[in-house]
Chains A and B, each alone.
Chain A
Amino acid sequence: MAEKRTKVKKNIYFRVGLGITLFFVVLMFVGLIYTPYDPNAMNSSEKFLAPCLSHPMGTDNFGRDIFSRVLKGISMTGLVAVSTVAIGGTIGTIIGALTGFYGGIVDEIVMRINDTLNGFPSILLALVIVSILGPGKYNVILALGILFIPSFARIVRSEYINYKNRDFVKSARLMGAGSLRIIFLHIFPNILPTLLVTITIGFNNAVLAEAGLSYLGIGIQPPDASLGSMLSDAQSYLFSAPWYAVMPGMTIVLFVLGFSLLSEGICSK
């Protein structure tokens, strides 16, 4: 009974999470091709308009339409998240697969490094890498991409260790399959569910890290719109225009909440 109840609850998590995430995916593509106003067009006669029909999220200190900028920010954040997870996921999966399957001294060393890196909060490591590469869109992608390698490697490695002595692997080997064929064609499909959860958590972290770096002023640089840098601009006008902070802020919260509900939902499926 209790088990059934949690299953139903988790299913709701999954549905709500999927709904929010799909909504954001749509907004991301919309933001790429269409915004109601030019997100960078300044209009000094329309500064600090409260949300109204023509500007659903109001306008900012330069009279720019906040809704258009939030849309652009979502596509930017989305693109950064997709690219970083693609970089970290691919490299991390390959490292994890090889070290987990072959084991040995290389595995020991790589995992020691991984353990050390895993102990550190992601924003701290992102700061380290950005401090070396310098701020900017592509450096943020590179920094976060590198950052995600260890978590993927660790999870994929433990899956490969789990599968490498199973009977289906042995029988594939008896039929003459090479190691690489076994790694990528036989074992890999089995770890896809775990990988999916890791990818959702990765998106979650990527959105948070990008927003954090941009808020600190060392992530995405103006004139590119970013939810994080909008928040830091909005902070100076908090008293006169609270909506300027609330709109990008709540967007980030919803974005993150969508991914975390989704990953919790997939976990129990």
Chain B
Amino acid sequence: MKYIAKKLITLILTLFLISVLVFLIFQVIPGDPVLSILGTEATEEKIESLREELGLNASLPERYFDWLSGVMKGDLGRSYRYKENLNEQMAVSRLVAGKLPVTLTLAGMSLLFIIVLSIPIGILWGGTKHKWLDALLNVLAQFSMSVPSFFLGIIVIYFFGLIMKWFTPGGYVSYKEDFSGYIQYMIFPALTVALPKVAMTARFLRNSIINQLNADYVRTAYSKGAGRTRVLFLHVLKNAMIPVVTFIGVIAAEIAAGSIVVEQVFGLPGIGRLLVSSISTRDYPVVQALMLYIVSAVVIVYFLVDVLYRYIDPRVEE
């Protein structure tokens, strides 16, 4: 309990620091938000009234707490680029809410693929006595880890989309229109995000298993007459999985990063694509909100992994 409380305090402090940083960073960016909304030909009065409306005349700490309380209530300001209707800019929170499900589906499906694929491969790899299988898997893993995700995505599109015709590249359908079509289209982007991480996780599990196979309790189990399969699945696997759980947690951040790039490759209207297009059009309120979300999400995931690790392996001290 004490451990969790301590971690929780660190988490809250980190989140606070992140919010201060994200706020400050976007204060020092050259360029006036008022001019970006109104354009350069606006009258002096209009500029002044919008400054007042946006609260830009207040002091820095005041503006920070204004912004933070807005963030807590889900109000993240308004986009410079997207319009809700003719005279109103779109709220960032609405913009993000529309894109979030796509990214969450992509990340969730990739995580599922990673777990489902890497564990059997890792067990096979760690448990095998065949040198050729070990070498083959090693080459495959090395290769899939050195292909950057955008090129991997292009290979997947070319091979599965254009040659095998298992899906139509660019044929994304919204989950609101056709849910099963949506899931079907997401399979290949999710595989693209997952593949390098499957290789990493499987290799990690393999090393973990081989480590455990040298332990004393394994020799004891063998001497009591247990077979190789029994030792592997009943004795070794339980212990070998412990570090892998943390590893998968750490990979969660990588999945977030992978999704940003892969969304671009497959033309998925998610958070990553919104972030990239907002950076190139300098739509700062959107960039600021997404930075805050993504970074906080990563920090929270790390916190959960820490707590979970403590729970499954009580030997962990500090």
Q: Footprint of B on A, CB under 8 Å?
A: 116, 119-124, 127-128, 130-132, 134-135, 208, 211-212, 215-218, 228, 231-232, 234-235, 238-239, 242, 245, 249, 252-253, 256-257, 260
Contact = CB atoms under 8 A, between A and B. Distances in A.
B158 A130 contact: no
A235 B261 contact: no
Contact of B264 (A124, A215, A256): A215
Nearest to B25: A132
A124 B276 CA distance: 11
A116 B265 CA distance: 29
B158 A238 contact: yes
Interface of B: 14, 25-26, 28-29, 142, 145-151, 154-155, 157-158, 162, 169, 250, 253-254, 256-258, 260-261, 264-265, 275-276, 278-280, 282, 287, 291, 294-295, 298-299, 302
B146 A128 contact: no
Contacts, number: 98
B282 A134 contact: yes
Give chain A's interface secondary structure class: helix
Counting from the closest, the 5 A-B pairs by CB-CB distance are A121-B257, A249-B151, A131-B279, A215-B150, A257-B146
A249 B154 contact: yes
A232 B287 CA distance: 22
A72 to B, nearest CB: 19
A127 B253 contact: no
Nearest to A134: B282
Contacts of B154: 231, 234-235, 238, 245, 249
A119 B11 CA distance: 14
B140 to A, nearest CB: 14
A74 to B, nearest CB: 15
Contact of A260 (B146, B253, B278): B146
A217 B276 contact: yes
Given A132-B29, A238-B154, A252-B151, A120 B295 contact: yes
A78 B138 CA distance: 28
